[in-house]
Structure 1
Amino acid sequence: MKKIKIRQPLAAVHIVEKEWLNPYNPIVVNLIGAGGTGSQVLTALARMNHALNELNHPGLFVRLFDDDKVERANLGRQLFATAELKQYKAVALINRVNLFFGTNWKAVTARYDKAGLKEQPELAQAGLTISCVDTVQARMEIAEILKNLSKHSGYGRNKPLYYMDFGNSRFTGQVILSTVGKIAQPEMKKYDTVDTLPMVTDEFRELLLASEGSDKTPSCSLAEALTKQDLFINSALANAGASLLWQLFREGMLFNRGFFVNLKEFRMQPLKVSKPVAIVKPMKPKRTKTKAA
């Protein structure tokens, strides 16, 4: 008897936007939120930018959005000093990064929402948008803005292409990378290319809405803040998320589009790139006409 060879399914992979593989200009990044996670992500982006420049890559240009000011409860868990109290978080962080790394990144002391972008809508244009926000409403509005921009941006250099979202509770968190629309993929015999990575607001919409009732009141002290979020959950997510971006820039292909972290149990679960599952609607039974007797 002849042996039947079972063909194994090809591994799913996402290939980065081709213009990002060898860009002529810095990639514009909008980082939304300068709190516990956002402040850590900004530092990781600055290190990444320096490394990319050393590899003859034009690097990144980052805009940091946040309308909050530094309070005493922020010291310790977030990357702020006593001398920065009452300053805008975005201004304090961007000034420090620019002085340390010699960059010319910008602080925006406004919220990234329809109202905040009304006077300067061009600020929303960025190839990569990263959200480090703590409300479901903010995530939903960011996703809506990006989807609308994708429809009307044409093929400009700063057309929104990718959206990365950071979220966490006390000991757990997740980072999910999405595409804003479809990214053209090359034909490959070795891999099954995926042109669309679903947004967190679409894929996990029900879970996000279920968590909407959690307590988001500001903490009055570091001790109180630590009862809501562990001291190192933000930096753990920021560094692992930056590693995913580094893979995107350096290797140009992704087999994982995010991950889930449980810092209490020291576990990390990757979120694989996969083809969207087609939903097959059940066929309606045909009505048969009966002849009258």
Structure 2
Amino acid sequence: MKTLPVVHYTDAYLLAPTNPITVNLIGAGGTGSQLLTCLARMHQAMLALNFPGLHVTVFDDDEVSPANLGRQLFSEAEIGMNKGVALIARLNRFFGTAWKAIPQRFSRDTLSGMKDEGAANLYVSCVDTAQSRFDIAAILQGYAGFRTYQRSRPLYWMDLGNSKSTGQVLLSTVGELKQPDSQRYQTQGRLPFVTEMFRGLLEQADAADSTPSCSLAEALTKQDLFINSTLANMGASLLWSLFREGILFHRGFFLNLHDFRTQPVNIG
């Protein structure tokens, strides 16, 4: 018997949204600052195609330091500013958007003071520690049974992470999303969280040195200059496929920038 290819169909709301798709970007550092620019470009493209576009809220409690210049998208004039505030102010002026920055850590306490408790259709995490991912997973797990039809209904979580020259992107669903009937494909409505698939590896990851760098030269000994921008662009391409094609054959990838190799992660 022939095995059908395993795919995931995009939730129907994202294919014909009546309002801008809401995005919570968690972390505005090396990868987050690059990905935010990709989201702004995606927003402009969606508007040109007569879609409502995106509305992004950035969460980050960190300030711009001299070590961030060059590898992250900040200028010398922004040293001392909150990262999310600096990026959003610049992008809103450039693209004419009305996106928001929350200069706080993404947490239950932060969300409790926000309208609709900070719910969004899409969560994108660009964080440094495994514990941050477990905290995000715990918050999103509470949304798993949240199946109303309000416009901010949580649907997906995309996590991006990297070491010096390697990284990964993984897309997950918040709970199980309804899939259409198909005779050509085997559909999968639930894509497990990164914290489920790689729990053991994540629990070991925080044992590594995560001390902040004091200079750009020191930072470059820990992360390659282009690992963050490469991950961000490829992750944005995955999101673009989710929005525009309506079907995914892969839910992410592993990247080795040193050897210029990528390995896709299949749906099933």
TM-score band, normalised by the shorter chain? over 0.9
Say whether residues 1:227 and 2:210 are aligned partners: no
Cα pair 1:172 1:262 within 8 Å, conserved: yes
Gaps (5+ residues) in structure 1? 1-6, 275-293
Gaps (5+ residues) in structure 2? none
Match of 1:214 among 200, 208, 212: 208
Paired with 1:89 and 1:183, the residues of 2 have a C-alpha distance of 34
Match of 1:122 among 110, 116, 121: 116
Match of 2:2 among 5, 8, 28: 8
One-letter amino acid matched to 2:123: T
Paired with 2:164 and 2:129, the residues of 1 have a C-alpha distance of 15
Say whether residues 1:205 and 2:199 are aligned partners: yes
1:75 shift after superposition:
0.5
Paired positions, count = 268
Pick which of 251-260 and 155-164 moved more: 155-164
Q: Normalising by structure 2, what TM-score?
A: 0.98
1:118 shift after superposition:
3.4
1:88 shift after superposition:
0.8
Q: Normalising by structure 1, what TM-score?
A: 0.89
- 1:229-268 equivalences under 5 Å are 229-268=223-262
1:43 aligned partner:
37
One-letter amino acid matched to 1:169: S
Coordinate RMSD, CA, aligned: 1.1
Paired with 2:147 and 2:208, the residues of 1 have a C-alpha distance of 36
Match of 1:196 among 190, 193, 198: 190
- 1:1-293 equivalences under 5 Å are 7-120=1-114, 122-152=116-146, 154-274=148-268
One-letter amino acid matched to 1:101: F
Paired with 1:153 and 1:141, the residues of 2 have a C-alpha distance of 22
1:121 shift after superposition:
6.4
1:48 shift after superposition:
0.4
Cα pair 1:256 1:271 within 8 Å, conserved: yes
1:123 shift after superposition:
4.5
Larger Rg: 1
1:288 aligned partner:
none
Paired with 1:98 and 1:129, the residues of 2 have a C-alpha distance of 20
Question: Structure 1 residues 123, 99: closer, same or farther in 2, change over 3 A?
Answer: farther
Per-residue deviation, residues 259-289 of structure 1 (Å, max 9, x unmatched): 0000000000000011xxxxxxxxxxxxxxx
Paired with 1:250 and 1:39, the residues of 2 have a C-alpha distance of 23
